Every structure is written in C-alpha cells, then in structure tokens.
Chain A
Amino acid sequence: EDKVVQSPLSLVVHEGDTVTLNCSYEVTNFRSLLWYKQEKKAPTFLFMLTSSGIEKKSGRLSSILDKKELFSILNITATQTGDSAIYLCAVGNMNYGGSQGNLIFGKGTKLSVKP
C-alpha cells in the first residue's frame, strides 16, 4: 500500500530558529514529490521535486529529494510567525493513468513559530 509519512507531527519553535521537516514515502511508480503549506484555508504549493539531489529554493525555504532513500526534507531558516502552518508532503504516482495530479498526502507537520 502506498503511503507517505511525515515527521514530526507537530513542532514549536521560536522566531529565528531553523527547522527541518521530514517526509518519507513508499509509493509504486514514483513520479514526483510536492510540498504544500496550509494555513486556515486551502493548501498552497511550495515545491515540486522529481530529481534526486537537486535542491529547490525559494527565499528562506528549501527542499531536497533523495529517491534512493525515499525521503525528502523541507528546511525553513530564520523562521517567522508567518511560517506557522501545517506543511503537507504529497507524492504523485503514475498508477492513475499517468497523471501528475493523483497525489498521496501525508498527515502533515504542524509548525508553530512563537515570537
């Protein structure tokens, strides 16, 4: 059975800290791994990773994929209170007609950044 496991489930840090969120997966016919940020509304897209070892970066956020060890990490440096959210990891497989869109989601990591 395909699954995506995120850790930790929740995390409390102070502003300025650096955090690392983990995502491991077991998915047949892997196609891509995606990270989303969810505040009190819909998930918003952060990164999509398809190749191993290539870091994606956007401001203070970065992510990397290891397809051999079947995991990804999301790093946030110099955290701010606005980073408080649930971070979702999702993996796309090619079982559903080859569509990128059929994603299997982890349960998320709830990050709380205190001032």
Chain B
Amino acid sequence: NAGVTQTPKFQVLKTGQSMTLQCAQDMNHEYMSWYRQDPGMGLRLIHYSVGAGITDQGEVPNGYNVSRSTTEDFPLRLLSAAPSQTSVYFCASSSGTGPLYFGPGTRLTVL
C-alpha cells in the first residue's frame, strides 16, 4: 500500500493564481482531511470529509475549496492564492475509529 500520497511536493505561486493540491489514499478510509502547518501555530484543520460526497469546514477554511467525488481522492483547491496561504499542507485519512495517517506534505510558497 502506498498509504496517503500528495502531489506536488513543492509549489510556488504568484498572488492571485489558483491551483489544486492532490491527495489520494489506498486504504479505503472513509475519513479524509486537510491540515496546514505554520511555525508557532501547529496543525490546523482546513476541511474534512467523512465519505464520498460529504465535506465540511474545519478551523481555517477561508480561501480553500474541497470536493470528494470518490473514496480515494480529496483535492484541495486554492481559489486565489494569497501570501498568507504560504504553508505546509498535509492531507490525512483514517478509518474513523483508528488514528489519522498523514501524507508527505506539500510545501507551498505564495509570492
């Protein structure tokens, strides 16, 4: 099993550009989520999904969209990138009763 995979690993955007961070898992987990990690702020939940077709907002959802058309995939869209979105983004999944497993992360810089 590959576990949780994320692409790209690194990305540089200009302010106002849009992009999609890809996330996939092959563990048949119903639950998936996106976190961002910033120095001094810890990991903060952006959006999550408890199953295909179901998504909801976390602690810091502004500026991001998600969709969950399949159990395996949970992409995160940045609509109009801002410097405040410079961060490391982690996708994660769990079975719902087990622990959360993280992908390798995407380091995003917005200029």
Chain B interface residue count, CB cutoff 8 Å, equals 29
Main secondary structure of the interface of A (DSSP, over half): loop
| B53 contacts partner chain A, Cβ-Cβ < 8 Å | no
User: Smallest Cβ distance from A68 to chain B, in angstroms?
Assistant: 23
Distance in angstroms between the alpha carbons of A96 and B95 in the assembled complex? 15
| B71 contacts partner chain A, Cβ-Cβ < 8 Å | no
Q: Which residues of B, 37-82, contact A by the 8 Å Cβ criterion? A: 40-45, 48, 50, 56, 58
Q: Which residues of B, 68-111, contact A by the 8 Å Cβ criterion? A: 90, 92-105
User: Smallest Cβ distance from B46 to chain A, in angstroms?
Assistant: 12
Contact B31 A99 (CB under 8 A): yes
Distance in angstroms between the alpha carbons of A44 and B4 in the assembled complex? 12
| In the complex, chain A residues whose CB is within 8 Å of the CB of B45 | 102-104
Distance in angstroms between the alpha carbons of A103 and B34 in the assembled complex? 11
Main secondary structure of the interface of B (DSSP, over half): strand
Per-position binary interface string of chain B over residues 22-34, scored 1 when its CB falls under 8 Å from any chain A CB and 0 otherwise: 0000000001110
Q: Which residue of A lies closest to B4 (CB)?
A: A42
| In the complex, chain A residues whose CB is within 8 Å of the CB of B43 | 43, 88, 90, 103, 105
Contact B102 A43 (CB under 8 A): yes
| A21 contacts partner chain B, Cβ-Cβ < 8 Å | no
| In the complex, chain B residues whose CB is within 8 Å of the CB of A108 | 42
Given known pairs A106-B42, A107-B40, the reply for A100 and B31 (CB within 8 Å) is: yes
Contact A99 B50 (CB under 8 A): yes
Chain A residues at the B interface, C-beta cutoff of 8 Å:
34, 41-45, 48, 88, 90, 96-97, 99-108
Report 6 cross-chain contacts, Cβ distance below 8 Å, ordered by A residue: A48-B98, A96-B50, A100-B96, A102-B58, A103-B45, A108-B42
